[in-house]
Amino acid sequence: MEITLRPYKISDVDDFLKYAGNENVTRFTRWNTCTSKEEALSYIKEFCIPHPYCRSICIHDSSIGFLMIIPQSGDNKCRAILGYALAAEYWGQGIVPRALRMAISEGFKEFPHVVRLEATVVVENKASQRVLDKLGFHKEGILRKYTFNKGQVKDLVMYSLLSTDPILPNS
Ligand SMILES: CC(C)(COP(=O)(O)OP(=O)(O)OC[C@H]1O[C@@H](n2cnc3c(N)ncnc32)[C@H](O)[C@@H]1OP(=O)(O)O)[C@@H](O)C(=O)NCCC(=O)NCCS
């Protein structure tokens, strides 16, 4: 199945709500489940569209997920943080790994100061860790009791990929 990445459009709102409004999708994300079309619309308008790299993962131009690269500033401008989520009906088909391969090469070109991409994953989120392992991210360690996630303090796994690291191909 061919996937594309593109910036968000206002007309993505209904598709966006299908995944951002699903508690199975948001279980381990740092953001809360979207509860209405109005909320989805303001998130797209105020966050996704102005964001330097927030992309809709699309099939036939319909949004089925999102992917973000968040460049840091000041002394941290050497790194950027990754975020991603996919509509549950598409899980397990290698879509996010493919989308990340596209975005990572674009991201390093678009943000020349960035030499490190990092992702922190709730320790129970095995699917997300598997995605990063498959791409060749380095598992650097566990950040113990690092953050609240849906009301509970969680351990996070810190992953990174440097601009000089190889991105592993589809296996
Ligand atoms: C995590 C997520 C992005 C994965 O995307 P995807 O396109 O389904 O990824 P893949 O198709 O590569 O499938 C996930 C991999 O994890 C594996 N996996 C899934 N659940 C697992 C579990 N409980 N334990 C171990 N491995 C698991 C799958 O078998 C697959 O590996 P494989 O290709 O070796 O068989 C998607 O499940 C999602 O959107 N989850 C909700 C949002 C989220 O967690 N975002 C990340 C926050 S850090």
pLDDT digit string, tens, across residues 4-15? 999 999 999 999
Cα 93 to ligand 1 centroid, rounded to whole Å: 9
Nearest CA-CA partner of 132 in 167, 92, 106, 103: 167
pLDDT at 1: 85
152-162 and 138-149 beta bridge pairing: antiparallel
Atom of ligand 1 nearest to the CA of 120: 48
The stretch 54-78 carries a mean pLDDT of 98
Ligand 1 site, residue 95, Cβ cutoff 6 A: yes
Q: What is the mean pLDDT of residues 147-152?
A: 96
Whole-prediction pTM: 0.97
CB of 130 closer than 6 A to ligand 1?
yes
pLDDT (0 to 100) of residue 170? 79
The answer to whether residues 123 and 111 touch, using CB atoms and an 8 Å cutoff, is no
Closest atom of ligand 1 relative to the 85 alpha carbon: 39
**Residue located nearest, by CA, to atom 8 of ligand 1:** 91
Closest atom of ligand 1 to CA, residue 30: 47
Class of the domain covering 4-118: alpha beta
Percent of the chain with pLDDT over 90: 98
Q: Which ligand 1 atom lies nearest to the CA of residue 92?
A: 11
Residue 171 pLDDT more than 80?
no
Residues 31-47 have a mean pLDDT of: 97
Contact yes or no for 112/149 (Cβ under 8 A): no
Of 63, 69, 86, 137, the residue with max ligand 1 atoms within 8 A of its CB, to mutate for a pocket test, comes to 86
| Mean per-residue pLDDT over the chain, rounded | 97
- Is pLDDT above 80 for 21? yes
Please compute the mean of the pLDDT values over residues 10-31 and round it to a whole number: 97
> Is the beta carbon of 28 within 6 A of some atom in ligand 1?
yes
For the segment 86-143, what is each residue's pLDDT rounded down to a tens digit?
Answer: 999 999 999 999 999 999 999 999 999 999 999 999 999 999 999 999 999 999 999 9
Question: What is the domain partition of the chain in residue ranges?
Answer: 4-118
The angle, 0 to 180 degrees and rounded to 10, between the axes of the packed helices 126-135 and 95-110 is: 60
